[in-house]
Structure 1
Amino acid sequence: MSTTRPYSPGDQGPEPDDLPGVTGRQVRRLNLAGASGIVPLARDFAREALYAWGWLPAATADRRAAAEDVLLVVSELVTNACLHADGPDELALYYGDSATNKVLRIEVADRGTGQPAPRTPHRAGRPGGHGMFIVQRLCLDWGVQRTSGVAGKTVWAEVGAPS
């Protein structure tokens, strides 16, 4: 499932390491299987990657907002895996750029069978149920990748790099 692409990466389209228009990819992976304190651990890992990739420290409000968006999306995807899929197995962050495209891709793999989707109707005043709505609002694109014959899924989201 993808919100804007005709394919989910890994299904009909390119592999995550071969996204069109993206060169100089950098990848960071964190094994979360069996870990405790998973959400703060994932956020700290993502924050370290943002420092390494020059998103932090942020010199402007727009750059700070972009970094905060990444941390919030990481939190939401990892939390959803905890709540709906017995916890995440891995967090992967991909960052790459070209002359026309700067994207940070977040992937959370789990063994769950569910299909994440924003709750509709969205009720802003009620607690809970906002995770995928937030992801949808903050990201350029998001979706779910499944591999035939393998249990589980990878939920991915892409955030545009600050200018």
Structure 2
Amino acid sequence: MTSEPRTLPGTTAPTQLSHPIDDFVMRFSSTPRGARLARRLAALRLHEWGVPYDSEVHDALTLIVAELCANAVQHGHVAGRDFRLRLAADAATVRIEVTDTRTERLPAPGPAPAPADAETGCGLLLVARLATRWGWYVRIGAPGKTVWAECALPKEGETAPAFRSGSAMDWSVGRGGYPDGFGAWRS
């Protein structure tokens, strides 16, 4: 007897980059320190892959990593379990995947806009604004879920990133601060 995997509302198929040139995978403790280390190592790896520090693309990718890792720590934490970060890049796209071991707390199908004065609940809004596409899927054969985001890299000679219009960087400045990576806004 065969059965199809159960499809949940809001899930997406676990697609991969067809031929990644660069790949980085590491597990981190499900703590704020682990999320911070994941962000810092991702920033270093992106720079080594040719996405220079202080570029808009680097800042956006690092912010996506920070938000997804912070969500894994805050909403996907299971005592004694780590979360996993995977970065994969080809010539045109960087894919970020963060996997945790908590299945019962799944992302909403589409992030709802938070009130203007909200200090939490803006992480997936930032991811949705910065990423070319994003989604999540339930892990097969193990507990947990993977939340992923893909960002198109600028083409040769382009100076502006190929992100969706209405950059979250502009949006965060309009809010009068920046996200600290754990759902709170700082000024």
Larger Rg: 2
Native 8 Å contact 2:12 2:136 kept in 1? no
Q: Secondary structure, in 3 states, of the residue corresponding to 1:150?
A: coil
Instruction: Give the structure-1-normalised TM-score.
Output: 0.77
In 1, Cα distance between equivalents of 2:118 and 2:46: 32
Partner of 1:61: none
Please give the secondary structure, in 1, of the residue aligned with 2:90.
strand
Instruction: Describe the shift of the 1:8–1:24 C-alpha distance in structure 2 as closer, same or farther (beyond 3 A).
Output: closer
- Note the C-alpha offset of 1:40: 1.8
Indicate which of 99, 105, 125 corresponds to 2:95.
105
Indicate conservation of the 8 Å contact 1:110/1:154, yes or no.
yes
CA gap of 1:89–1:83, structure 2 versus 1, over 3 A, is: same
Is the Cα contact below 8 Å between 1:2 and 1:142 reproduced in 2?
no
Q: Verify the 8 A CA contact 1:142 1:157 in the aligned structure 2.
A: yes
CA distance in 1, matches of 2:69, 2:99: 9
Structure 1 counterpart SS, 2:29: coil
Query: TM-score scaled by structure 2?
Result: 0.67
- 1:98-124 CA-partner distances (Å, limit 9, x unpaired): xxxx11000101001122135424213
Aligned to 1:152: 144
Change (3 A) 1:2 1:108: farther
Aligned match for 2:23, one of 19, 22, 27: 27
User: Which residue of structure 1 lines up, in the alignment, with residue 85 of structure 2?
Assistant: 91
- Give the secondary-structure state (helix, strand or coil) at the position aligned to 1:149: coil
1:74 aligns with 2:65: yes
Q: Which amino acid aligns with 1:70?
A: L
1:8 aligns with 2:4: no
Q: Which blocks of at least 5 consecutive residues in structure 2 are unaligned?
A: 1-7, 156-187
* Relative contact order higher in (CA < 8 Å, ≥ 6 apart): 1
How many residues are aligned here?
A: 143
